[in-house]
Amino acid sequence: MDILPLSEKIKNKIEKHHLQKKFNKQTKLFKLNPKHPSLNVKLLEPKEYGIYSFRIDRKYRGLFIFRPDKQAIEILAITVHYQ
C-alpha cells in the first residue's frame, strides 16, 4: 500500500513533536502490512466518512483515508489520542 506525499502542515507537526523516527517506522510497517497489530488501525465514527486512524505511538495517531483511484492512502492529520 502506497502513501501519498504529506502536506507541509503534517510534515511540520511531525517535526514539531519529534515524531519523525516513529512515524517513519510505522509508515514503513503500514506499507508492508496495513493490518499489523501494532498499527492498531481503526475505522472512526461516523463510519460513512471512511476516516481511519493508525498508531504512531501511545500519544499520537495518524488519520487517513483510502484513495482507491491512486491505490494509496492519504494521511489527513496527526492527532493526539486520548483514552
> What CATH number is given to the structural domain containing 11?
3.30.2310.20
pLDDT above 70 as % of the chain: 98
Q: What pTM was computed for the model?
A: 0.92
Q: For residues 31-52, give the mean pLDDT.
A: 96
Reported as a pLDDT band with limits 50, 70 and 90, residue 1 is: confident
Residue where the block lists cell 511531525: 14
What is the chain's mean pLDDT, rounded? 95
Q: How many domains does the chain have?
A: 1
**H/E segment holding residue 27:** helix 20-32
The C-alpha cell that represents 27 in the structure block = 509508515
Q: What is the pLDDT of residue 83?
A: 54
Q: In 1-83, which residue ranges form alpha helices assigned H by DSSP?
A: 8-16, 20-32
Q: For residues 26-50, give the mean pLDDT.
A: 96
Q: What is the longest distance spanned by two Cα atoms in the chain? A: 34
Whether 51 shows a pLDDT value over 60: the answer reads: yes
Residue ranges making up the domain that contains 36: 2-80
Note the Cα 72 to chain centre separation in Å.
12
Beta bridge partners of 75: 64
